Amino acid sequence: MNPHSSDHPLCSDHGGEHPTVLDLPHVPLGLKREWLDLETRRHFLGQGVKALGWAGLATLLGRSAPNLLANSPIPGAPAFLPHYAPKAKRAIYLFMAGSPSQFETWDYKPALADLFDKDLPESVRGGQTLTGMTASQTRFPIAPSIYKFARHGKAGRFISELFPYTAKVSDELCVIKSLHTDAINHEPAILQLTTGNMFPGRPSIGSWLSYGLGAMNEELPTFVVMTSKMPHRTNVQALSNRLWSSGFLSPEHAAVALRSGSDPVLYLNNPKGVESDVRRAMIDGVNDLNRQLFERVGDPEINARISQYEMAFRMQTSVPELTDFSNEPQSTWDLYGPKAKEPGTFAYNCLMARRLAERGVRFTQIFLRSWDQHSNLPKNIKLMAEDSDQPTYALVTDLKRRGLLDDTVVIWGGEFGRTVYSQGTLTPTNYGRDHHPRCFSMWMAGGGVKPGMSYGETDDFSYNIVKDPMHIRDLHATILHLFGLDHSKLSFKFQGLDQKLTGVLPSKVINDLLA
């Protein structure tokens, strides 16, 4: 059926003359209404555009349209208003890809020291399926952490000596020790953390926030991703843009990946000899053609395309200002350390994240890879911690002293936990750990999260959760809650379902974590 032909037979205002979908038996009323709405909208797109003007369209299409339609009275109007006044306006997610071991970081298990090289009791493992990497091991010898722990902060939290800097902000952190996930391998587990689903094609957390709440700063992307230089490289996780894609949401909700080096956004600079006004004229021309196309076929993707041209043009001025660190005071360099001057390092990215937060970017995700210590864990986890500890502390401290931590939530963690038993040979100075989805630790700080708090407990082997399990979905529900969004209502209709970040399985906001 052609929705654009003028004698459209199913025009729903002729309901009295033709049988309509409403007359169909055995179809739930809700579905009929939905079908009618769809039909109405198509018809409307085909015929009504000129009558109502762009503003009307903008409203019907949600955020994608208004953004670019220069004469819209509602630039950047989001699909939702917060369901309740938010605590967090932005989030910075420090994604420790590869998964740091909980034993050497946040989940202190002093009793293990006496169990060095003892076999993990079968009852603890409870017949769990292991990865191919350790399934064939004949023994599962217990490997206590080689790193010591000490109490820190007013809360007296035990923190590993790997994080002397982060320990200084212990009282800002809410450490969760009882996260669990469904996937045992990196790619699906990272996807589940970033998009709520193990399968590619779903919108990332940042995309949901962009869709739900719109932009705070129209000159910069709402969702930014950065990957960091690694201090060493073993078992490096592949990262790809499916981790920060907008999935079935309009493409403008995808992250813009900031690269290190002189060209933070690819192809943003005008080619030699092309002045800004020439570029502007070109974009206007292309947009004009695209608008005509939109009027004819009514595909929202066309609007997304226009918006991307516009965003790119605006970023030609906003990005150079963003990436020019020359006005940073000396106190910044003292805090973040010398590596912050080297583009692409984790330290540089943390500083960039603070600058993005100051400018109103809603969601910044920084990936630091190579935490996947199947072997040589003691040596390699130290390299990773040394690279990231000071910048992490610096970011939390900097946000706090600038008054940004109250409404910026910082999230730190990997995609799953690691095993209590050694993968490969265990010696007093060396061991490895395999993947372990049943429990792992993360922390959050700021943005309405209860500071100084610990949540959840694992058994003596940090193998099973004994108190307050928190699934990834609960983490997502809680993050959305901080932004004032009800996870069960933030949805997008796709393939006949009300798609949500938290999906259809049970998920809940963890109220105990809220300040």
Nearer to other proteins, 48 or 251 (CB): 48
- Please give the DSSP secondary-structure letter assigned to residue 172: G
**Which phi and psi angles does 227 have, rounded to 5°?**
-110, 150
Cβ proximity of 490 and 199 under 8 Å: no
Choose which of 21, 48, 137, 187 interacts with other proteins (CB under 8 A): 48
Task: Find the shortest distance in angstroms from Cβ 383 to other proteins.
Answer: 32
Which residues in 363-422 contact other proteins (CB under 8 A)?
A: 400-403, 406
Which residues in 207-226 contact other proteins (CB under 8 A)?
A: 215-219
Residue 58 touching other proteins (CB under 8 A): yes
Task: Find the shortest distance in angstroms from Cβ 345 to other proteins.
Answer: 24
Nearer to other proteins, 368 or 477 (CB): 477
Nearer to other proteins, 147 or 393 (CB): 393
Distance (Å, whole) CA 422 – CA 405: 38
Residue 38 touching other proteins (CB under 8 A): no
Residue 55 touching other proteins (CB under 8 A): yes
Report CA Rg, the chain: 25
Give which of 77, 501, 64 is closest to 252, Cα–Cα: 64
Task: Find the shortest distance in angstroms from Cβ 502 to other proteins.
Answer: 9
Which residues in 63-102 contact other proteins (CB under 8 A)?
A: 66, 73-86
Nearer to other proteins, 76 or 251 (CB): 76
Task: Find the shortest distance in angstroms from Cβ 87 to other proteins.
Answer: 11
Choose which of 8, 279, 341, 359 interacts with other proteins (CB under 8 A): 359
Residue 507 touching other proteins (CB under 8 A): yes
Q: Are strands 408-413 and 90-96 parallel, antiparallel or unpaired?
A: parallel
Distance (Å, whole) CA 418 – CA 377: 11
> What's the CA angle centered on 90, arms 84 and 94, to 5 degrees?
130
Give which of 440, 436, 442 is closest to 478, Cα–Cα: 442
Q: What residue spans of 263-420 are helical by DSSP H? A: 276-297, 300-323, 330-336, 346-358, 377-401
Nearer to other proteins, 338 or 506 (CB): 506
Based on the number of CB atoms within 10 Å of its own CB, is 417 exposed (0-12), middle (13-18) or buried (19 or more)?
buried
Contact set with other proteins (CB under 8 A)? 12-13, 15, 36-37, 40, 44, 48, 52, 55-56, 58-60, 62, 66, 73-86, 215-219, 329, 331, 358-360, 400-403, 406, 484, 488, 506-508
